[in-house]
Amino acid sequence: MEPNLFVQKNPKEPIVNKEKIYSLFLGIGFTILIACIGIGLSKIPKLGYIGPFACAILVSVLYRQIFGYPEHIRIGIQFSSKYFLRLAIVLYGLKLNMNVIFNQGFMIMIKSMITVLFSFFVLMLIAKLIKADLNLSLLLSIGTGICGAAAIAALSPIMKAKEEDTAMGIGIIALVGTIFSIIYPILFPFLHLSTAEYGTWAGLSLHEIANVALAAAPAGENALAFALLSKLSRVFLLIPVSFLFILWMNKKGIKKDTEVKFTFPWFLVGFILMSFLGSFFISELIEIKELKTPIDFLTTFLLTMAMTGLGLNINTKELRMKAIRPFIAILITSLFLSIFTFFCF
């Protein structure tokens, strides 16, 4: 159970607990520091491939193994990992331009739906065959099919996933996505694809928006445009997939006859509202570089802060035992997905 700053456990306690307030702000400050380090490390050429999220998780894991979990600032760390994560997902909605998707027709959406279903069933099948952890594999299947770390971060509260599973999932998918986004441009000259075909292939098969951009940019602006369009159609599917998981979790709770009350993910409503706001009302405004750059940076920074809290929950011994098989499962699934989308789409 998370600490609540606003509930008095003892009637004799003061209404405002100074120690908890101090822990809150100190913990938030700690996550800001780790986020800065993570973003700084991601600017280093070779580390830049895995991105700031994975870098922040790596720093957090190392910190815990050397110094232990900073219990005295736990409240602030948990606040960052929970509330800043949700705020970042809400802001992430501005990246989804529904106008572009609707104007380009629904064929790309059908391809994206097939991609999501393929990723889900293939990864879960492989995970079952090699006896990988199913909860972590489920998170990875969602990230592989939709939009990488952002999808895992958005769905994990709905699924009530453990924070260490969420952190491990984000770290694994960042690594695998980076590997494939480096391989794609190397293969491009030998594939005999047009720039539009190559861009569509990258957008339908790679995990993160950053992976897609990294792989498509070397092939030119036309390839990048098609890649981002294909990727955005997969990001759009985060909305219906999230609601499907809400229904599934409710049904699961009823079957188990549990008394645990399901909490509706209101941040998902914020994500949808931001998507519509950005697409139909302020689309031209947020494309202005002076506004777009700070919004993108804030979204990335908040998510990186949240990764700090998630990374601190990882136990390296458990990581070695628990993550290796899901890693193998997503690696095989990503290879199959690349082959499937290449020949079928």
* pLDDT tens digits along 100-154: 666 765 788 899 999 999 999 999 999 999 999 999 999 999 999 998 888 898 8
- Of residues 64 and 204, the one with the higher pLDDT is 204
By C-alpha distance, which of 244, 304, 299 is closest to 274? Answer: 299
Distance CA 156, CA 82 (A): 11
> What's the pTM?
0.74
Which positions ≥6 away from 80 have C-beta within 8 Å?
27, 28, 31, 305, 306, 308, 309
Q: HEC states along 20-33?
A: HHHHHHHHHHHHHH
Q: What is the DSSP string of 174-222?
A: HHHHHHHHHHHHHHHHHH---HHHHHHHHHHH-SSHHHHHHHHGGG-HH
Highest mean pLDDT among 125-139, 271-285, 296-310: 125-139
Of the candidates 155, 125, 113, the one whose C-alpha atom is nearest the C-alpha of residue 332 is 125
pLDDT (0 to 100) of residue 343? 92
Reported as a pLDDT band with limits 50, 70 and 90, residue 16 is low
Per residue in 175-221, pLDDT tens?
Answer: 888 889 889 988 998 998 999 899 999 999 998 887 888 788 788 87
pLDDT exceeds cutoff 60 at 65: yes
The pLDDT-based confidence of 246 (bands split at 50, 70, 90) is confident
Asked if 160 and 249 count as a contact pair (C-beta separation under 8 A), the reply is yes
Exposed/middle/buried for residue 274 (C-beta within 10 Å: 0-12, 13-18, 19+) = buried
